[in-house]
Amino acid sequence: MAGSYRSYLHCFNGCGGSYPVDSILYLCPHCGGLLEVQHDLDALRLTAPAEWRKLLDSRAATTRWPYGGGVWSMKEWVAPELRDENVVSMYEGNSNLFWADRFGRSIGLDDLWVKLCGNSHTGSFKDLGMTVLVSVVKQMIADGSPVRAVACASTGDTSAALAAYAAAAGIPAVVFLPRDKVSDAQLVQPLAHGAHVLALDTDFDGCMRVVREVTQDNSIYLANSMNSLRIEGQKTVGVEIVRQFDWTVPEWIIMPAGNLGNISALYKGLKLLQDLGIITRLPRLVAAQASRANPFYQSFRNNFSAPVAMQAEATQASAIRIGAPVSYAKAVQAIRQTDGLVEQASEQELATAAALADKTGMYACPHTAVALAVLCKLRQQNIIRPGSRVVVISTAHGLKFSGFKSGYHQGSLPLVTGDHANPPLELPATAAAVRAALDKRLAAQPAGSARV
């Protein structure tokens, strides 16, 4: 089936020109704009929507190589020319939709879901894109390409995903990190996978400038989200959400936004479903930014009259601490075409949202907490109505950010008051002291009555 389809690189600005997907190109050689992967829609439309739904349903979460993974169940829509022996997959995707019942009811929503993309091999959404990029690079090398390594700038999750998938493929990885600006859990992942880790005395935007210069030599392949192959894997999250709802579309999807590849990819997957006649409408998309790193929010407030660049300030949501997002133009399209919104959350708001979510059984990373805080704002303003089906995309596992969690409950996070902190109760080692303390606490919180 895959042999019937083709894909190619095309300039997002529409200046013309098509290039093979295995070209070592990240920007249009004519105008310098972003590239994107386009697919032969006429060929894809020869298969009826019902047949596509049946095919994807039959593949997802099976052991059939490589189609059982969430990304590769959609191989014809992602990388149709890729030979199966070059697929580098850890069965990423197929992450669960968590019905956030108690948290939703606390803000007046009965139909709130959290897409737990952190329940993936390296603990983040980035796996969805990296499986595609590394697979294509593996095929490029097998076909004689001069590529000898893959490289990325990262605030943590991208580097972990690149290092893991490159290790699985046997391809050297080079990682550029801002020194002392990523969590220990994120730093140790590329180290453990044998990547060449370079900690630079700058922020993410500085690392991005360096890696772009270094990868001008075609022997080192750029793996950041300006590489359109990443977007092809990440777009599958939108398809997966719709499939998990029996091919129906939620009213809203809210996602953390930093370099803006994620929100762009989400739109691309949903738009493909619409173009193939599988869905008839698009959800409204919301890009959620930390207020200390909010260039896209500022641009939205100015009706996207011009991109905004800033020096991003320190935020607990370190993975989206980006002041000059690369995928700006694509993200503008995503918001405009879905009647979407961009909103921000302060350090206090994101920390409070994480604490309240955790009290209902979640374990929210700080970036997911930004999206949850934005949800609360939009609900308070009644922009999101009580009967709406809402999905928040959780982009990483909370265990990567234990310092954020412990700092909140110990009262040591800057710019944050831990109104819902739950530090351990230190007691003498006697049953009488324990009983007295428990009687006091449980009297104030009977079973089944715990409030968010």
Secondary element (H or E) of residue 305: none
Please work out, in degrees rounded to the nearest 5, the angle formed at the alpha carbon of residue 312 by the alpha carbons of 114 and 405.
45
In the sheet that 173-178 helps form, which strands lie side by side, from edge to edge?
196-200, 173-178, 149-153, 220-222
Say which residue the tokens 């075409």 belong to.
Answer: 337
Q: What is the pLDDT of residues 205-232, one digit of tens each?
A: 899 899 999 999 889 999 987 899 999 9
Look at residue 63 in the predicted model and tell me its pLDDT: 93
Q: How far from each other are the two terminal CA atoms of the chain, in whole angstroms?
A: 50
Residue 396's φ and ψ, nearest 5 degrees, are -155, 160
Q: Which residue has the tokens 């039959």?
A: 58
Residue matched to tokens 């952190």: 118
**pTM reported for the whole predicted model:** 0.94
Residues of the chain with pLDDT under 70: 1-3, 446-451
Strands of 117-240 (E only): list them: 149-153, 173-178, 196-200, 220-222
How far apart are the C-alpha atoms of 205 and 195, rounded to whole Å?
Answer: 21
pLDDT value of position 445? 78
Instruction: Name residues whose C-beta falls within 8 Å of residue 165's C-beta, 6 or more positions apart in sequence.
Output: 88, 90, 127, 130, 131, 133, 134
pLDDT for the residue numbered 2: 43
96 secondary structure, DSSP code? P
The CA angle 319-367-393, to the nearest 5 degrees, is 120
Angle at 72 between CA 68 and CA 75, to 5 degrees: 130
> What is the structure's pLDDT at 446?
67
- Range list of β-strands (E), 201-243: 220-222
Amino acid at residue number 143: D
